Structure formats: C-alpha cells, structure tokens
Amino acid sequence: MDQQDMTQAKAPASRGLPSLRPSAALATGLRRAGILYPFLILFIVLSVWSGPFFTKVNLLDILDQQASTLIIAAAGTLVLVAGGIDLSVGAVYALAGVTAAHLALFAPPGVAIVAGVAVGLGVGLVNGVIVTAFRINALIATLAMSFVVSGLASLVTGGNLVIDYSHPGFADLARTSFLTVNTSTWTMLAVVVALAVVLSRTTTGRYIYASGSNAEAARLSGVRVQLIKLVTFVISGGAAALGGVIDASRVLSAQASNGETTLTFTVLAGIVVGGTSILGGEGAMWRTVVGVLFIALIGNGFDLLGLNPLYEQIALGGILLIAVGLDAWSRLRQS
Amino acid sequence: MPENPQQVKGTHVELAGISKSFGGVRALDQISLKIARGSIHALVGENGAGKSTLGKILAGVITPDRGQLLIDGEPVTFHSPREAIIRGIVLIAQELSVAPALSVAENVFLGTEPRRAGFVARRALRRRYDDLAAAAGFELGGDLPGRGLRTADQQKVEILRALCRDARLIVMDEPTAALPRPDVQRLHQVIRRLAADGTTVVLVSHFLREVAELADEVTILRDGRLVRTAPAAEETEETMLSSMLGRSLGTTFPARRPVPPDAPVVLQARGLTAHGIHAVDLDVRAGEIVGLAGLVGSGRTELARALCQAQRITAGTVTTAGGKLAPGRGPNAALRAGLAMIPESRKEQGLMLGRPITENVSLASLARLSDLGLVRRRAERQAVTKALGQVGVRLTTPTAQNAPVSTLSGGNQQKALFARILLRGPRVLVADEPTRGVDVGAKRAIYELLASLAADGLGVLLISSDAEEILGLAHRVLVMRAGRIAAEFRGEAMTEAAILGAAFGAAERGA
C-alpha cells in the first residue's frame, strides 16, 4: 500500500497538477453554461405542455411582473461581483414605494418618483459608508439597515395602505404602453442593459470584478476598492427604490410591509442561480436575467399547469442549493 | 502502536532519500538522515534551504514526492498531520494556533477533552491539565483565557498540547523567533527538559547561537541538499555559516550596466517608520538595482509595502521624482507618482486568479486604455499582447488571453504581473521576491527583464532571500535586520558571506 502510494504520488508532483485538469475543465464548463440549459429546457417543456404559456400576453406579463425584481437583481449583481451583499433591498423597495405613493397624493407624479428613487440612493449611500468606512461586514450592515428602513417605511404610512386610485397620473410611470409593451418593462430593459454595459465594458466594471476577485491585488494596482464598493451599494439602493416606485405605480398603491424579505431573497436567489458567485469576482448580467426569469418560469409553470404551489418553494430551494453547490465545487476544482 | 521500552536510545526517525518539489522547483533533494531518540536535532540553513519543508514532511503536513520515512525502523507514509500525530509526531508551527475564546486548559485538550456522556468533564479536564503542567514544569494557570496570552505562553500551550497527545517527537519551527530574551531562556529549559525525559525535539532555527547551545546534533541544508549532519559540539557558528554559503546553481546573470554618476534619485525614504520597520533611510537612482537582503521577518516586505503606501506610515517620508508622497493616500497615489510593486505573494496580493489574463495585465492601466470610462477593447488586447511579448509569455492562440490567469504556469503568472507593471510604465519598481516559486527558466527570464528595465532607466528595489540572486543583479546591497537597515555593501564588499553575516549577526545579538 505504501509502495503503491509512493508511485501514485510521483506522477502529479513531477509536473504541476495535470491530474486535476479534466475535472477542472468540466467544472469550468458547467459553470460557464450554468443555468442557461435548464432555463431553455424549462421554457420548451412549458411551451409544449401548456397552451397559454407561449403567448405574447403571458410572456409580456411575466416580464412586466418581474420588472422590479430584474432591476434590483441587476444592481445586486454589481454588489455581489464586487464582493458585497445587500440584504436591505426589500426594505428599500418598500420605503421608496410608500414614499412615492404618499407624495403622489398631493405632489406631481414626477416629484413623487424622483423623491422615491432619491430615498433609495440615500440608503444605498449609508449602506456603502457603513461597509467601507467602518469596515462592517456587508451582510450584517445591510441586515441591520433593513430593519431601520422598514421602520421608516411604517412611519411614512402610519401602518396603513397608501392608495393612489384617485391620482391615476402616477400610474403613467409603469402603465403607459409603448409599442404594445408597458413602460415598466421598457424601464427594466433600459436599466438592465445600462448596468450590463457598466459591468462588462467600462473601467468601473473591471474594477468591480477586480475588487471582488482579489481586493488586495486591486488595491496594489491602484484601484480604489472601497470607493468601488460604495458605488455598488449606492446603485443597489437606487435600483431597489426604482423597483419599489415602479410597482407602486403599477398597482397604484403601496404598503410598508410588502413581502420585502421574500423580495430580498428572490433577488439573491435569481442572481446566484444564474451563476454569479456569492464570494465575489465572478458573474455576469445575462446570468442574472436568466436566473431571475428561471425562477419566474417555475412559478408561472406551477400556475399554468395547476400544480400544488406548495411544491414550488421546495423546488426553488432545491435548485438554489444545487446552484450554490456547483459554484463551491467548481471553485474547489479550480484552486 | 508499537511500544518499545527497551529501545530507549538509538534511532527514532530515519529519512531515506526524501525529495520534494513545488511546481518544478526542487525544495528537497535526496535527503537522508537519522534522528536519535531523546535528542535535540537542529535543522539549519538559509531562507529557502528546505529546513521548514523537512520539518513539515516529518509531521505529515507535506507528503514527499520520493523517499521513505522510517519510525523505529518501520516504514511509514503520512498523508496528513493526523496520521503523524497517531505515530507520536507533532509539529509546532511558526504561526501559533490558540483559540482566544477557550481557556488554557481547554486549548491544551482541544479535540481530546475528557468526556462523560458526550459532555466535557470539566473537573477531570482541570485535574489532567494540572498534572500535565506540573510534569512539564510549567507555571501556567489552566483557567487563563487564550485571548491575550503572550507568545511565550501560547508556545507553552502548544507544547502541552503536543505532550497530552502523547508526542514522542516534537518539531518546532523557529520557536524563539518572536520571543523576548528571558522567555527564550525559559523555552530553552523546557526543550532540554523534554529531551531529558526522552522526547525527541527537532528544532528548525535561524539562530545559530541557539543551535550551538541547545542542540545535540545539527543538520545543515543548502539549496534543498544535505551538507552534513554532525554533533553540535563539533560545530561553531562560523563552521555552520560557511557551510550554508557557496551555492552553485549554475545560473548566469545578465551583464550589469553601470549607473551613470549623474543619474537622479527616483526613490528616497527618510526616517521611514511603520509596523515592523524603524527609521529606514534609502535611495534608489534611475537605472540602479538596489538589492534588499535579510532574513524572513526582518522587515523587508514591510518596507516594500510602506514605500508603496500599501501600509500605514507612522513617521518619515517617501519621495519620488515627482516629489514627496502625501501619507495615507494608498497605493493609487504611489502608482500615480510612478512607484509600482510586484508583491510578495502573487496569488494573494497579485493576481485575480479566476479572471482572464487580459484583465489581469491591463488592470493598472485601464485609465489609459479607455474613452469616457469605456474600455477600448481592441487597444487593450493589442497592448496586453505587446506587454506579454516583452516579458516572454507566448500564448498559443490569441484567444488564450481570455483564459483565466490561473491556467498559466507559476513562472508565466509571475511574468504576467511584470507585464502589468510594464504596461503601466512606472519609474521605480519594488519587486518583492520576484522569483519565488518559479522554475529556473522563468528565473533567468525575470533576471533579464529586471536588468533591461534598469538599463532603460528604471530604479529597482529587489527584495530577495536568494543571496546569489542579489549579488548577480544588484549594484548595491542593503541588509535588513530587526526592522532596520543593518548594513550596506557595494563593489568588492558585496559577498554572500558579508550579506549573511550581517543578516544573521543581528539575529544573534537580538536573541
């Protein structure tokens, strides 16, 4: 046994690590394709099995419903790639929603919208400062902030539902139809494309990857890592707020506790299922779009096929575990 | 587990033809030696001679590529420290591991706590701790918290931990490196006592006087090869030192171009003080390669990081050709002033391993390669290709630039870091161990690169543990010890003996 071990030990040690290569290649390959194949398979299956699925109405409806989630997840991708995490997006979404809805009761819609988004940018700035200047772990910092922000949202509404049915002008933001597609969807497309360009084409995007991939190397190469991280939190706060304002405009009402925790985790799940690493330095915008839509398709499929919705959550959780497991496994193989 | 009470003296552990390479670099080459039971056996050598690696092989931390380890004459193969512990071999590493939230006694019995029905039997634990501490002759309260223990006391915890695991051979890696003098004396007593009680101690040490005082036998390593094993009584500090010198790698160095007498100073430090360094003065002129030698822990890396603003400076100034650097602005400001660094660890401080080669090389120069914040990708690709060509990284296909940098060999990864610096175009380069862990061919290429950079008027501060490398490349050598510049050599005075003498001499005086 000893003898055998010695001879086996020789081969890999003599020339780097060739023995790891095949599984490393598989790991990289799996990670690269990621969620794309499961998404396409699910899409085809639903198209075949469910008549109403592959219709313009249903598909546009999915996009419209996912507009705010996609906007928030797109910004969240920047945060995650830079090595951070933002758990306050759900609370910011609610705060911005009620702020805008409340202002829309007596102010012009434009003012309401701008104020809502500004509130989110402000919270994002506070998040960023706490994380970068005070070096507090992003997970804890944004979790704590989510409670603060939720409380603020309740203060704005006094615990009531804000209803804007008598101010239909506020609905124009989300409900105006342009080329048969709602403005909420157009806004989502604009934000996602803009952030995709930032991440993949700009120097800022490169610095985001560098900060998350190896912060010390980035710092020594002249990247202002803390500033970059701060910017991602500000963008995330602004995006969460925009999502909240759009949804308030879509349904012409808003409330302080609006399933915000669920939203935070749906956003995170979408990003991670897409294949963006929770550890930073890896990821892409198209992944997040596919990841969020994949989760949406599961929900849509359960509805259309009339399956027991209780299984939907179990399926989601399982898929999330597989996605994170694959990420961990491929990192192990690469190192 | 074989118990041989009759075999009190005699060979405890034998190494036969042990070899180990790391990524093409030979760390140990055909090492054979015997360690007597109950003896104190010292391993000495320069930085990188292989003494720590040998200690780790004994303790199962590293598995050798070739060769055989025999314990009590029985061949064994360790795949993990756990397997070595079962055979009574424990390593006390340089970095101590005491859990701050646990008490001293709990730390000692960590993982081997006396248990009753799954719960830790606290009283039994305390009793056994007191017995153990008394047997070892330590006065260290078992209830003290691990947090805030002095280094010397942490070491006692580690030793007790080893003893309670029934260790019959303890490998100590530089146990006195971080200790104040009175504690060194106390630790020496402990080590003598361990040996007197029949425990074998393998001592990896930089401190030659300590070795001469303490050890029964000395094994001298040079360049991963065994020079000799001899009774310590037959050795002196001088004989050991001279045996550690004079390596012959057969490496050739590029010709040194003399520095023009009117070359301007491009990097100057005055009274530079930071964590680990005190009042360092330093000048590097354009076209000059200044070698910075010294033992690991002497403050070389801290100096490099302080110069490049990667570490907070508490006093003193750094001046470049562009003027004084404002303190506290970070590496970005240093880079803007033309001061770039190749960090000590390319994996931890240099590369983004999972990112493409292109992104790694262009990272420090993106401002120049972009318009309105948008990266000009074609320009980037061309610039990166050119820089990689200059440092001698030949990729098989143009698209190979998109592969993660981790797919390159160690030597090429290091060259990619040089390409990043080259692309940035600094006026001064601080290179911290630029040839660590690369093969001979890549070493040679990096030497050529450093020489040609200097010939082009760059000032270079070359930090290296390899004295020959410094002698072959540098115009002038500074030797650090204990956070200060201890000596400067130039011209004829630049010899390996002088450098090592200055580096070790301090260590002797300090301890």
Query: Phi and psi (nearest 5°) for A18?
Result: -65, -25
- Identify whether the C-beta of residue B326 lies closer than 8 Å to the C-beta of residue B457: no
Per-residue pLDDT tens digits for B287-317: 999 999 988 778 899 999 999 999 999 999 9
Residue B162 pLDDT level (bands cut at 50, 70, 90) = confident
- A2 chain-B contacts, CB cut-off 8 A: 75-77
Who wins on pLDDT, B119 or A110? A110
The 3-state secondary structure of A65-102, one letter per residue: HHHHHHHHHHHHHHHHHCCCCCCCHHHHHHHHHHHHHH
Per-residue pLDDT tens digits for B421-430: 999 999 999 9
Q: Does B375 touch chain A (CB under 8 A)?
A: yes
Residue A33's pLDDT is 66
Which two tokens mark B483? Answer: 């956070």
Least reliable range by pLDDT among A86-90, A147-151, B201-205, B433-437: B433-437
Which residue of B331, B354, B406 is in closest CB contact with A282?
B354
Looking at CA atoms only, how far is residue B371 from chain A in angstroms?
Answer: 9
Q: Does B425 touch chain A (CB under 8 A)?
A: no
Residue A12's pLDDT is 34
- B25 chain-A contacts, CB cut-off 8 A: none
- Identify whether the C-beta of residue B10 lies closer than 8 Å to the C-beta of residue B35: no
- A13 chain-B contacts, CB cut-off 8 A: 20-21, 65
Q: Do domains B11-98+149-244 and B264-338+427-511 have the same CATH topology?
A: yes
Residue tagged 């996602």 (tokens): A192
Q: Does B271 touch chain A (CB under 8 A)?
A: no
Q: Which long-range contacts (CB under 8 A, 24 or more apart) does B17-20 make?
A: B17/B66, B17/B67, B17/B68, B18/B54, B18/B57, B18/B64, B18/B66, B18/B67, B18/B68, B18/B69, B19/B64, B19/B65, B19/B66, B19/B67, B20/A13, B20/B50, B20/B53, B20/B57, B20/B62, B20/B64, B20/B65
Comparing alpha-carbon positions, the chain A residue that sits nearest to B365 is A221
Which residue of A10, A202, A209 is in closest CB contact with B359?
A209
Who wins on pLDDT, B338 or A33? B338
- Separation CA B76–CA B87 (nearest Å): 9
Q: What is the DSSP string of B53-91?
A: HHHHHHTTSS--SEEEEEETTEEE--SSHHHHHHTTEEE
Q: Span B340-344, mean pLDDT?
A: 92
- Identify whether the C-beta of residue B293 lies closer than 8 Å to the C-beta of residue B477: yes
Kindly list the residues of chain A whose beta carbon comes within 8 Å of any beta carbon in chain B.
2, 5-6, 9-10, 13-16, 28, 201-207, 209-210, 213-214, 216-224, 281-282, 334-335
Residue B124's pLDDT is 86
Residue B23's pLDDT is 60
The CATH number of B264-338+427-511, from 3.30.1330.10, 3.30.310.50, 3.40.50.300, 3.30.360.10, is 3.40.50.300
Provide the residue count of chain A. 335
Residue B229: strand pairing partners: B219
Residues with Cβ within 8 Å of residue B177, at least 6 apart in sequence:
B94, B206, B207, B297
Q: Do A16 and B24 touch (CB under 8 A)?
A: yes
- Separation CA B438–CA B171 (nearest Å): 28
Which residue of B65, B359, B420 is in closest CB contact with A9?
B65
Q: What is the DSSP string of B312-353?
A: -EEEEEEEETTEEPPTTS-HHHHHHTTEEEE-S-IIIII--T
Torsion, Cα A278 A284 A288 A290, to 10 degrees, reads -130
Q: pLDDT > 90: what percent of chain B?
A: 39
Q: Where are the domains of chain B?
A: 11-98+149-244, 264-338+427-511, 350-425
Q: Does B363 touch chain A (CB under 8 A)?
A: yes
Q: Does B310 touch chain A (CB under 8 A)?
A: yes
- Separation CA B476–CA B292 (nearest Å): 9
Comparing alpha-carbon positions, the chain B residue that sits nearest to A279 is B354
Residues with Cβ within 8 Å of residue A304, at least 6 apart in sequence:
A46, A50, A52, A53, A58
Residue A331's pLDDT is 63
- Identify whether the C-beta of residue B50 lies closer than 8 Å to the C-beta of residue B227: no
Residue A333's pLDDT is 63
Residue A293's pLDDT is 94
Which of A21, A31, A197, A221 is the best substitution to test chain B (most B C-beta atoms within 10 A)? A221
Q: Do A281 and B354 touch (CB under 8 A)?
A: yes
Residue B75's pLDDT is 92
- The complex's ipTM works out to 0.81
pLDDT for A14 beyond 50: no
Which residue of A206, A216, A223 is in closest CB contact with B349?
A216
Q: Does B19 touch chain A (CB under 8 A)?
A: no
- Separation CA B54–CA A6 (nearest Å): 17
pLDDT for B51 beyond 60: yes
Q: What is the DSSP string of B98-134?
A: --TTSBHHHHHTTT---EETTEE-HHHHHHHHHHHHH
Which residue of B332, B366, B373 is in closest CB contact with A224?
B332
Q: Does B403 touch chain A (CB under 8 A)?
A: no
Which residue of A10, A222, A224 is in closest CB contact with B66?
A10
Who wins on pLDDT, B400 or B57? B57
Query: Phi and psi (nearest 5°) for B174?
Result: 50, 60
Q: Does B409 touch chain A (CB under 8 A)?
A: yes
Round the average pLDDT of chain A to a whole number and report it: 84
- Identify whether the C-beta of residue A210 lies closer than 8 Å to the C-beta of residue A224: no
- Separation CA B294–CA B300 (nearest Å): 7
Q: Do B348 and A214 touch (CB under 8 A)?
A: yes
pLDDT for B351 beyond 90: yes
Which residue of B77, B351, B404 is in closest CB contact with A217?
B351
- B65 chain-A contacts, CB cut-off 8 A: 9-10, 13-14
Residue B26's pLDDT is 75
- B349 chain-A contacts, CB cut-off 8 A: 214, 216-217, 220
Q: Does B328 touch chain A (CB under 8 A)?
A: no
- Identify whether the C-beta of residue B292 lies closer than 8 Å to the C-beta of residue B301: no
User: CA–CA distance from A335 to each of A20, A274, A279, A329, B103 (Å)?
Assistant: 10, 22, 14, 10, 36
Q: At the topology level of CATH, where does B11-98+149-244 sit?
A: Rossmann fold (3.40.50)
pLDDT for B136 beyond 80: no
pLDDT for A245 beyond 80: yes
- A213 chain-B contacts, CB cut-off 8 A: 352-355
Torsion, Cα A268 A273 A274 A278, to 10 degrees, reads 60
The kind and range of the H/E element at B21 are: strand B11-22
pLDDT for A288 beyond 90: yes
Residue B188: strand pairing partners: none
A–B interface: beta-carbon pairs under 8 A: 107
Q: Span B440-459, mean pLDDT?
A: 88
Who wins on pLDDT, A332 or B284? B284
Residue B507's pLDDT is 42
Residue A26's pLDDT is 62
Residue A95 pLDDT level (bands cut at 50, 70, 90) = very high
Residue A202's pLDDT is 95
Q: Does B402 touch chain A (CB under 8 A)?
A: no
Looking at CA atoms only, how far is residue B354 from chain A in angstroms?
Answer: 7
Residue A32 pLDDT level (bands cut at 50, 70, 90) = low
Q: Do B420 and A221 touch (CB under 8 A)?
A: yes
Per-residue pLDDT tens digits for B450-506: 999 999 999 999 998 888 889 989 999 999 988 999 999 988 888 888 888 888 774
Residue A28's pLDDT is 61
Which two tokens mark B404? Answer: 């993660």
Q: Do B332 and A282 touch (CB under 8 A)?
A: no
Residue A227's pLDDT is 96
Closest CA to B222 of B67, B65, B46, B54: B46
Q: Do A210 and B341 touch (CB under 8 A)?
A: no
Report the amino acid identity of residue B4: N
Looking at CA atoms only, how far is residue B437 from chain A in angstroms?
Answer: 12
Q: pLDDT > 70: what percent of chain B?
A: 94
Round the average pLDDT of chain B to a whole number and report it: 86
Q: Does B374 touch chain A (CB under 8 A)?
A: yes
Per-residue pLDDT tens digits for A250-266: 888 888 876 678 899 99
Per-residue pLDDT tens digits for B196-255: 888 999 998 877 888 888 999 999 988 888 989 999 888 888 888 888 775 444 457 888
What order of strands is seen across the sheet that includes strand B89-92?
Answer: B89-92, B169-173, B200-204, B40-44, B217-222, B225-231
Residue B25's pLDDT is 67
Which two tokens mark B302? Answer: 């801290």
pLDDT for A165 beyond 70: yes
Looking at CA atoms only, how far is residue B30 from chain A in angstroms?
Answer: 14
pLDDT for B4 beyond 50: no
Q: Do B366 and A213 touch (CB under 8 A)?
A: no
Looking at CA atoms only, how far is residue A335 from chain B in angstroms?
Answer: 8
- Identify whether the C-beta of residue A236 lies closer than 8 Å to the C-beta of residue A116: no
